[in-house]
Amino acid sequence: MADFLDSEFEARFTSAQTAMAASGMDAILLCTEAEIRYFSGFRTQFWQSPTRPWFLVLPRSGAPIAVIPEIGAELMARTWVCDIRTWAAPNPTDDGVSLLADVLSPYSKVGLPMGEEASLRMPLRDFYRVQEKSGVEFLDCSNLIKAIRMIKSDAEIALLRKICKIGSDAFDNAADIFHAGLPLSEAFRAFKIELLQQGADDVPYLVGAAGQGGYGDVISPPNDMPLQDGDVLMLDTGASLQGYFCDFDRNFAIGHATDTTKQAYGRLWQATEIGLQTAYAGARCADLFNAMHAELGGGPSDVGRYGHGLGIQLTEYPSIAVFDETVLQPGMVMTLEPSMTISEGKMMVHEENILITDNEPVLLTKRAAPELPIIS
Amino acid sequence: MADFLDSEFEARFTSAQTAMAASGMDAILLCTEAEIRYFSGFRTQFWQSPTRPWFLVLPRSGAPIAVIPEIGAELMARTWVCDIRTWAAPNPTDDGVSLLADVLSPYSKVGLPMGEEASLRMPLRDFYRVQEKSGVEFLDCSNLIKAIRMIKSDAEIALLRKICKIGSDAFDNAADIFHAGLPLSEAFRAFKIELLQQGADDVPYLVGAAGQGGYGDVISPPNDMPLQDGDVLMLDTGASLQGYFCDFDRNFAIGHATDTTKQAYGRLWQATEIGLQTAYAGARCADLFNAMHAELGGGPSDVGRYGHGLGIQLTEYPSIAVFDETVLQPGMVMTLEPSMTISEGKMMVHEENILITDNEPVLLTKRAAPELPIIS
């Protein structure tokens, strides 16, 4: 039933305890889906409901403490977490505030992710109340958490490998699914069904676009326009398996493609190739960015980023960006995602998912074709 | 392309401006997916990525201002929002902080949802920086936002009606999809595919359980256990269409059901019937709770809640709970969701989606069968 053995969670927790000791924190407070799942194994889509806050406290010594709404008690009891304290939520006058403050009050300095990529998934008003009632000092522990989550275990890598294979197998059937005349919205729907049939649990992320020789943005839901001869169709999917994501895209030409389009595709494919040749342990994310950016002709590097970490979230730390000094380490799972502008309002993007190792990087996705596939 | 006419968004914004004036706020700051989508029409699954913060500022006078990462500029430009200010995100030293502070600094009192059901989807560290740099005072505007979102427009109701019909049509095919021997995880996968085939855009929420004569909890992902004769299978789905949710469940007996199980089902069905007889404009949520609770035998009312609002989130304000004094008004879309414990560790839950009107409530879901359906 559990996604991992208890020993996996014990190892994650031990890493957090070691880091807490090194940084002078007495405990860590987590309130977000990914972090609570990472340390407890509590996996549910019930996070879709914004009504109830959920908390996990990781003490520097002792066992983790779940402070959660009663409705989650049975599911939490199936995880490795034994100390579960519940309240009848929602409670408009005290929605876990007193219970959480009591759990925190023995501590002095409590870590809370407050930096890049962090959110506070509880009412800010209640956070202030917990702060006041518990008397603890909150310190940012974003980097501590990121450093642990960034390095994937063998069990995590096995899941990521599976979901990347599922995504690759689904894209292999593209020619049977997509065709001129198919409304883009129906192409999306058909591809979601294909991903489920290939074994994905869910498709929390499917964005993309289709346009003559390229597309305008890469985060949109589909419109109902039929695919047309000369379109480049791009689908970028974050399908999930036991809560682990793939995140990669594929481009297809419908009917035919111009030489300009084919060349743009080829350059992006080649930039990814350079990425693969650079993504060795010891290189910095900035090195990886610079290598791909040079291959794409250089120029101003405010293009954003060319990839990111991948795991229990569609995008995780670090960023493959000019500013990111993070050193690649074995066990990191990353996306390589170079993009380029073809003309005003037209762009193209490629993406692969890789594992950093002691040796050369391992592709988790089936490498995209070196030439733009044409669906006729 | 847009989900609604500009006039729909103008009406929402005007309501917010009127409420701001009444409560002495100069502007409202929004940073969460549902709120930004509600007021701008900006709809994307890109929220799956935690990397970048997004902001929408609603001034008491003047037009809305989107303060967003450059990657979202094109999609935001297709909404009714015209004033779009972007930065190259992620930026580890200033991730929109200065830009947002500049936009806010002309104001004195700025509303921010900080109460029940609210989250702060930005790094807390950056929130403190914005607070300091802008010099504004933040006030809780949760209730103001809830009061507006709670009443659905005709266009919203039309979408909610459609997605509830899609869910109902999918459940109508239950006997063709589910059977003894089918692993629960495969039952979930097949039902997600069915929902997509019926026309859902996505299935962000599907939870459920199967067990002999009842089930233990109602928020779990599936295990791989085959459905067995005597199981009650419950599926609770939040499928979505253009970002609007249904949220209801259905129960099915596999092979046969005991009299105890059939009676429990019948009592819940009857409690929902009482809910339908009580859900008139003018009644309070607490009245609705009390009527259903009495039908289920009364007793301690710490059972949580028997339903909630429904719309662009799986669960929205208000709660059908003993503490909720919210008065039902025409245009509110609610779930009726009575639940009962059958025996230690066994429960059952029913759910329907309804529209509150000037007259009797309108079922958006196809009413569940009065007797437990048996799949043989």
Q: Which residue in the set A88, A119, A192 is minimally distant from B121, CB to CB?
A: A119
Copy the structure tokens of residue B310: 């429904």
Cis amide linkage into residue B64, ω under 30° from 0? no
Q: Given an 8 Å threshold on Cβ–Cβ distance, is A314 in contact with B112?
A: no
Contact B319, B286 (CB under 8 A): no
End-to-end CA distance of chain B: 44
Residues 101-120 of A with CB under 8 A from B: 112, 114-120
Q: Read off the amino acid at residue B367.
A: R
Instruction: Among B78, B185, B202, pick the best mutation site for testing chain A contact (most A Cβ within 10 A).
Output: B202
- Name the residue in chain A with its Cα closest to that of B51: A117
Q: Given an 8 Å threshold on Cβ–Cβ distance, is B74 in contact with A217?
A: yes
pLDDT value for B216? 86
Tell me the C-alpha distance between A112 and A28, whole Å: 6
pLDDT value for B90? 96
**Would you state the torsion angle of the CA atoms of residues A92, A95, A133, A64, taken in this order, to the nearest 10 degrees?**
180
Touching check for B77 and chain A: CB below 8 Å?
no
Three-state DSSP at B315 gives coil
Residues 261-280 of A with CB under 8 A from B: none
Digit-coded pLDDT (tens) for B49-94? 999 999 999 999 999 999 999 999 999 999 999 999 999 999 999 9
Contact A328, A281 (CB under 8 A): yes
Contact A86, A71 (CB under 8 A): no
Give Cα separations from A238 to A211, A235, A243, B207, B330 (angstroms).
Answer: 21, 10, 11, 20, 39
Contact B332, B347 (CB under 8 A): no
Helices (H), B223-300: 259-278, 285-295
Write down the CATH number for the domain with range A6-150. Answer: 3.40.350.10
Tell me the C-alpha distance between A104 and A110, whole Å: 8
Residue B341: closest CA among B268, B233, B247, B256: B268
% pLDDT > 90, chain A? 94
pTM above 0.95, yes or no: yes
Digit-coded pLDDT (tens) for B217-229? 888 899 999 999 9
A59 — phi, psi (to 5°)? -80, 150
A84 — phi, psi (to 5°)? -120, 120
Is 70 exceeded by the pLDDT of residue A133?
yes
Is 90 exceeded by the pLDDT of residue B303?
no
Instruction: Among B217, B244, B245, B337, pick the best mutation site for testing chain A contact (most A Cβ within 10 A).
Output: B217
B30 min Cα distance to partner chain A (Å):
13
Q: Given an 8 Å threshold on Cβ–Cβ distance, is B114 in contact with A92?
A: no
Cis amide linkage into residue A318, ω under 30° from 0? yes
Residues 326-345 of A with CB under 8 A from B: 345
Q: Which residues of A touch B110 (CB under 8 A)?
A: none
Copy the structure tokens of residue B143: 């209730």
Q: Given an 8 Å threshold on Cβ–Cβ distance, is A71 in contact with B202?
A: no
Class of domain A154-375 as given by CATH: alpha beta
Q: Given an 8 Å threshold on Cβ–Cβ distance, is B120 in contact with A124?
A: yes
Digit-coded pLDDT (tens) for A224-237? 999 999 999 999 99
| ipTM field | 0.97
Torsion sign, CA atoms A78, A80, A82, A83: negative
Touching check for A22 and chain B: CB below 8 Å?
no
Give Cα separations from A28 to A6, A36, A113 (angstroms).
Answer: 20, 11, 9
Residues 221-250 of A with CB under 8 A from B: 221, 223, 238
Q: Give me the mean pLDDT over the A7-31 stretch.
A: 98
Tell me the C-alpha distance between B110 and B331, whole Å: 28
Instruction: Among B52, B129, B219, pick the best mutation site for testing chain A contact (most A Cβ within 10 A).
Output: B219
Contact A314, A238 (CB under 8 A): yes
Tell me the C-alpha distance between B110 and B24, whole Å: 9
Is 70 exceeded by the pLDDT of residue B301?
no
pLDDT value for B298? 86
A313 min Cα distance to partner chain B (Å):
7
Q: Which CATH number fits domain B6-148: 3.90.180.10, 3.10.450.710, 3.30.450.40, 3.40.350.10?
A: 3.40.350.10
pLDDT value for A2? 86
- Name the residue in chain B with its Cα closest to that of A112: B124
> Which positions ≥6 away from A344 have C-beta within 8 Å?
none
pLDDT value for A103? 98
Contact B97, B127 (CB under 8 A): no
Long-range contacts from B67-71, C-beta under 8 angstroms, 24+ separation: B67/B96, B67/B99, B67/B100, B67/B103, B68/B96, B69/B96, B70/A304, B71/A217, B71/A218, B71/A219, B71/A304, B71/B46
- Kindly give the pairing relationship between strand B109-112 and strand B27-30: parallel
Q: Which residues of A touch B141 (CB under 8 A)?
A: none
- Name the residue in chain A with its Cα closest to that of B314: A49
- Name the residue in chain A with its Cα closest to that of B33: A50
Is 90 exceeded by the pLDDT of residue B171?
yes
Mean predicted lDDT score pLDDT of chain B: 96
A174 min Cα distance to partner chain B (Å):
18
Q: Given an 8 Å threshold on Cβ–Cβ distance, is B315 in contact with A206?
A: no
Contact A42, A2 (CB under 8 A): no
Strand partners, A57: A29, A65
Q: Given an 8 Å threshold on Cβ–Cβ distance, is A314 in contact with B71?
A: no
Is 80 exceeded by the pLDDT of residue A190?
yes
- Name the residue in chain B with its Cα closest to that of A96: B116
Q: Give me the mean pLDDT over the A130-134 stretch.
A: 98
Instruction: Among A79, A86, A125, pick the best mutation site for testing chain B contact (most B Cβ within 10 A).
Output: A125
Touching check for B161 and chain A: CB below 8 Å?
no
Q: Which residue in the set A90, A93, A117 is minimally distant from B305, CB to CB?
A: A90
Angle between helices A33-40 and A6-23 (to 10 degrees): 110
Contact A45, A130 (CB under 8 A): no
% pLDDT > 70, chain B? 99
Q: Check residue B366 and report its DSSP letter.
A: P
Is 70 exceeded by the pLDDT of residue A301?
no
Ordered by start, the domain boundaries in chain A are 6-150, 154-375
pLDDT value for B1? 64
Q: Check residue A183 and report its DSSP letter.
A: B
Q: Given an 8 Å threshold on Cβ–Cβ distance, is A314 in contact with B43?
A: no
Q: Is B186 exposed, middle or buried (0-12, 13-18, 19+ CB in 10 A)?
A: middle
Q: Check residue A323 and report its DSSP letter.
A: T
Q: Which residues of B touch A89 (CB under 8 A)?
A: 304
Contact B304, B292 (CB under 8 A): no
- Name the residue in chain B with its Cα closest to that of A346: B74
